[in-house]
Amino acid sequence: MSKMELLQNPKQRKLLFSAGFSWMFDAMEVGMISFIAAALAKSWSLSPQEIGYLTSINSVGMAVGAVAAGYLADRYGRKSILLWTLLIFSIASGLSALATGFGVLLLLRFIAGFGLGGELPVASTLVSESVAVKDRGRAVVLLESFWAFGWIISAVVAYFVIARYGWQWGFVIGAVPALYALYLRRAIDDSPRFIKGGAGKQASFGKGLKEIWSSPHRRTTLMAWILWFTVVFSYYGMFLWLPSVMGLKGFTLIKSFEYVLIMTLAQLPGYFTAAYFIEKFGRKFVLVVYLVLTAVSAIWFGYATSELSLILAGVCLSFFNLGAWGGLYAYTPELYPTRVRSTGTGMAAGFGRIGGVIAPFLVGMLVGDGIPVSTIFTIFFVAILIGAAAVLFLGKETKGLELE
């Protein structure tokens, strides 16, 4: 079934777009934080370290949310947990607009992160279990492509709203998904595979954790945790700081937002090419190739000096990094049996989010200490190559395999 044929199936199309819009709202929220941080740095006179705290606390919440929601989705179903996580992050986002102090804002960003981190692995598991084996990888990568639309929306909102009317409006717009959750409640069904084979068979959290580290899954889990950590570490370290890095390279706030919007547009073809290659050449091919090219783009961006070189490097960085993310979300749910699929995916994502906590804070410290951008991006270059090596040497190919 081609991509167009997949979209012509009414039931699969409805599921893909329904889950995809929730994914888009997630991305809009995460993207908005990078622009809001740059605006808050000016209006609240935040130090680079404080910006690092702000972006890191979101990832702390995402780590906790991914682990908790992964287990709860194996226990209570994918659909109900998807709805609850969507509501949690959108309500916390709306309340963030009312924050009058840095401490209150950090607390609300943790709660929003909890919802964000929980929704992503649950949505990918739901789609992965609801689509035929020959279309599974492509469907999840297409689901991931909605992330690019969310980032594009956040960049547009930043350029036309945040830069002109203030950061509070970014959070207000981030509350919109709460209304979408009401539609989603009626629009989608739970995973048929969970209903038939997983409901009532889930292990306790301790047993689920023990199972994913048991001998049949140990090598896979080690690979997945390394992969998630390095990808999340590099992504949140680079992309949450993009507007601020552009400022460090001498561009105004408006100009920085404009260039980041251009770079963000490159995410879409990155996803679509990954969606094509993932069923043609396999999951390992997409992950290894796209991660290696992401690493090359990172080192290029770090050392770029001219305006043109900076934009081209940023475009390549977006293209290959987000294509790799598509492969990551398609690959991980295929590694585990139904009874612990969401737990295994959530635990890998949760461990990865630790990288998302460390990276923005680390960048804030390094920038505050006057470390060159080129040195910072060299760190990401090495981290991404470690992730690619883990897939190459420890990963198993899941293309065409029926889910257990």
DSSP string covering 50-119 = HHHHHHHHHHHHHHHHHHHHHHHHHHH-HHHHHHHHHHHHHHHHHHHTT--SHHHHHHHHHHHHHHHHHH
Q: CA end-to-end span of the chain, whole Å? A: 22
In angstroms, what CA-CA distances link 55 with 30, 31, 61?
A: 9, 11, 11
pTM of the model: 0.81
Q: Within a 10 A sphere around the Cβ of 362, how many other Cβ atoms?
A: 18
- Cα Rg of the chain, angstroms: 20
Q: pLDDT 10s digit of each residue in the chain, 404 long?
A: 455 455 556 777 888 888 888 888 888 888 888 778 878 888 888 887 788 788 778 888 988 999 999 889 888 888 889 889 989 988 999 999 998 889 999 999 999 999 988 988 888 888 888 887 888 888 888 888 888 888 888 878 887 888 788 889 988 988 888 778 777 777 788 878 777 765 555 557 788 888 999 999 999 999 999 999 999 999 888 886 777 777 777 776 667 667 777 887 888 899 889 989 998 999 999 999 999 999 999 999 989 888 788 889 989 999 999 999 989 988 999 999 888 888 899 999 999 989 988 887 788 888 888 898 899 999 999 999 999 999 999 999 988 777 66
Tokens of residue 335, six digits: 């590694």
8 A C-beta contact, residue 233 and residue 355? yes
Domain architecture of the chain: domains with CATH: 10-186+201-394 (1.20.1250.20)
